[in-house]
Structure formats: structure tokens, C-alpha cells
Homo-oligomer: A and B are copies of this chain.
Amino acid sequence: MQPDNYEFIDEMLKEERQQTILNEVELHNRILLTDIAEALDVSIDTVRRDVKELDAENKLRKVHGGAISLGFTMNSTRNHNVYKLEEKNKIAQKALSLLRPGSVIFIDGGTTCSELARLIPQNLSLTCFTHSLPVASELLGKPNITVIIIGGEVSSESQTTIGANAIHNLSEIKVDYSFIGTGYVDSFYGLTEFDWDIVQVKKAVIKCSKKTVLLSISEKLNSQHRYKTCDINAINTMITELDPNDQLLNSFRNHDIRIL
């Protein structure tokens, strides 16, 4: 989120401040307390108190570290993660450029993918498969998007469907692009995860996609964990918040990957 330039007023009334916060939440769907505190030049405690009051009045929902709009979507989904939101926003912006009218795509779970879902423009018509509840919620408001949820048992941790049923359902579809996230990525070890069930689903996703696009913040580069989703070669396009020429991406250039 780019902290907007608020009109700088020496003394802001509490009501004004709360109204400003509400406007920001409605505009961006979510805010960070720290951003608001800085933008409005008040202490974080004050913002925290304001948000708490607004929450009590049912004007928004307070979450750890920020607040989210309680608009039509029930993105009241538990803990909205606001970590590295700016980077994720940048990645999602780049990913948008791959979308064409009429495309059939899959969107994975995770905050970066949710951000992509959120940014998809109203006037773009798409068919979107997803196994992520937050992603489905983000997409629901957009009139030109057909949303299809992959059924199955819901993992409360990832808020996605997992398990045999989900994997089976994935085996019966074919999409043009899948946009997936990962816990860890390394040019040698490929994509890895902490959780076994998640790996199985991601494998199924990759299998049902003509092209696979990896969305990952640079922080995850050159890290690995226990269970392997796929080789790095299985990825067709890789998007980070970095400039494509950044040296941090050097080790990925030998592979047949498009880097955005």
C-alpha cells in the first residue's frame, strides 16, 4: 500500500481520523496500523484504539497488525496476513500482465495469490479455479469472473482445500495458467514446503496447468525445506518483487524460466 498523502492537519479531530481510517480501509480493503500511524502522524497506540473502536462499532474488522474491510466479501477470514504487503502487491501487479480475456486460470492459496485475486480488474472476464477460500472471496465481487472452488477438506491453517478429494477434483480440469506460491524456493532444490499435504495439492495443480507461474517474494529465494513440490524446471514463469536483472536471481537464469 502506498501511504496516500493525507492533507496534513496539525490537529486532527478524533472523528476525522477515524473517518480517514475507514476511508482507507474501504479503499484498500486492508491497512497496516503502522502505515496509518505514520501517515496521520499519531502514535500507533492511538491508531490501535481508533481501530478497536471502529471494530466495536462494526465499521471494520481489526486483525493482528492491521484492519480489513468487512465489505461484501467475507474476507473476514481469520488472520489476514499483512506481512510484506508492498512486495506482494508489486508481484501481483506483474502477474496481472499475463492475464488475457477469456483465460482459464488457477490461483493458489497464500497472501501473494490473494493479492493477485484482489487486483484482477472488474472488466476482465476470466474463469478462475481456486482451492483457497480467501481467493474465492476476493474474486466474488467481480462480475465478469467465473469462480470455481475445488472441493475437499479445508485446512484451517492454509484456508485451502487439501486431501484426496481436492487432488482428485484437480485431476479433472485443465487450465491455461496456474499462479502458485511456495514456502521455499531454491534453484537447485526446486520448490519445497513444510507441509506434506500442501505439497500433494500443489503437485496436482502443476499437473493440471499448461503453464505454471510462481509468485514469490525475494525473501524466500535460496531457501529450502523438507518436502519437494517440483523441480525448478517445472516453473515456466517466476515473479518476484525484484527487478528481473537483479543479481539475486542469477542462479535461476540458467534454467528455462521467464523471469518477471
Contact = CB atoms under 8 A, between A and B. Distances in A.
Q: Classify the interface of chain A: helix, strand, loop or mixed.
A: mixed
Contacts of A9: 1
Interface string A159-193: 10100011001000000000000000000000000
B161 A149 contact: yes
Contact of A147 (B19, B80, B149, B156): B156
Interface in A2-35: 9, 11, 13-16, 19, 22, 26, 30, 32
B151 A13 contact: no
A204 to B, nearest CB: 13
Contact count band on A? 35 or more
Contacts of A64: 13-15
Interface of A: 1, 9, 11, 13-16, 19, 22, 26, 30, 32, 58-59, 61, 63-66, 68, 70-74, 76-78, 80, 82, 133-134, 136-137, 139-141, 143, 146-154, 156, 159, 161, 165-166, 169
